[in-house]
């Protein structure tokens, strides 16, 4: 991760609200993470998406302590993103700045009774999809998150594109369709990004989801930096 061009990533986040870091995980790491999906000891909660009209598929929230590899990614990625988040909030004149170390953000979560891990693995089969949503979980939230892709598109599955929808006031929404490769990491905004207009910066709300899977299985690892109440 330290070899990543963070100046480029920062610029892409400012300009688009998302950025892709290629080959973040090795093939073996992807396979190991998929294999742990069947380990009941690793998770605190399983959600069947259809039951809550979230889509069609299943996801599992990890319990603390997180697996070492996931903990390392979450802890080392956050300090690169916190300055971007602080720049966004300053541009939007939001009276809040984020700590530069992840442990301090988690402490803020605990003080707000948000103490449950939010890192998760999602699994989709044929027909699976995820409706457009935002992952907030409580009053304390971090405005960016990451997803790591654990399968090869067009080889392990077809369809299942990652979809971002950006809303513009008094205009039509913009759809962004992405198909990262196995091992890639996508960083994207959790709920909005600053966008410059004629009168300065304004919030451009964004939601994300997954299009329908046509064949095969699709797994992703979602890394959310704030914790949840439930």
pLDDT in tens, 172-200: 999 999 999 999 999 999 999 999 988 89
84 sits in the region (left: phi over 0; alpha: psi -120 to 50; else beta) called alpha
Distance of CA 115 to the CA centre of its chain: 18
CA distances from 135 to 12, 131, 139 (A): 21, 12, 12
Question: What 3-state DSSP class applies to 43?
Answer: strand
pLDDT digits 0-9 by tens, 94-109:
999 999 999 999 999 9
- Cα angle, residue 11 at apex, residues 94 and 185 outer, rounded to 5°: 100
Residue 117 CA to residue 227 CA, distance in Å, equals 5
Q: Work out the end-to-end distance of the chain between its first and last CA atoms, rounded to an integer number of angstroms.
A: 31
Q: Taking a C-beta distance cutoff of 8 angstroms, is the pair 219, 34 a contact?
A: yes
pLDDT digits 0-9 by tens, 109-125:
999 999 999 999 999 99
- How high is the pLDDT of residue 198? 85
Locate the domains of the chain by residue range. Answer: 6-224
Contacts of 23 (CB under 8 A, 6+ apart): 181, 183, 184
Distance of CA 113 to the CA centre of its chain: 22
* pLDDT higher than threshold 70 for residue 37: yes
Helix runs in 2-52, H state only? 6-16, 27-35
- How high is the pLDDT of residue 79? 97
Residues forming a β-bridge with 40: none
pTM of the model: 0.96
Fold of 6-224: Jelly Rolls (2.60.120)
Residue 210 CA to residue 221 CA, distance in Å, equals 13
Per-residue tokens: 42 = 């690793």
């Amino acid at each position: 991760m330290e070899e990543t061009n963070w100046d480029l990533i920062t610029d892409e986040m400012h300009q688009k609200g998302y950025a892709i870091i290629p080959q973040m995980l090795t093939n073996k790491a992807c396979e190991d993470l998929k294999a742990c999906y069947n380990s009941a000891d690793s998770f605190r909660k399983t959600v069947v998406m259809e039951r809550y009209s979230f889509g069609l598929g299943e996801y599992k929230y990890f319990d603390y302590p997180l697996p070492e590899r996931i903990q390392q990614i979450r802890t080392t990625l956050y300090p690169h993103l916190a300055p971007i988040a602080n720049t966004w909030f300053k541009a939007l004149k939001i009276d809040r700045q984020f700590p530069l170390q992840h442990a301090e953000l988690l402490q803020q979560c605990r003080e707000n009774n948000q103490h449950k891990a939010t890192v998760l693995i999602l699994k989709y089969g044929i027909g699976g999809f995820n409706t457009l949503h935002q992952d907030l979980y409580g009053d304390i939230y971090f405005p960016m998150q990451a997803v790591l892709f654990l399968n090869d598109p067009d080889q392990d599955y077809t369809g299942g594109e990652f979809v971002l929808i950006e809303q513009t006031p008094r205009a039509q929404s913009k759809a962004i369709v992405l198909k990262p490769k196995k091992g890639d990491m996508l960083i994207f905004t959790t709920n909005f990004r600053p966008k410059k207009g004629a009168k300065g910066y304004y919030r451009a709300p964004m939601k994300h989801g997954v299009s329908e899977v046509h064949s095969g299985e699709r797994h992703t690892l979602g890394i959310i930096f704030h914790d949840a109440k439930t």
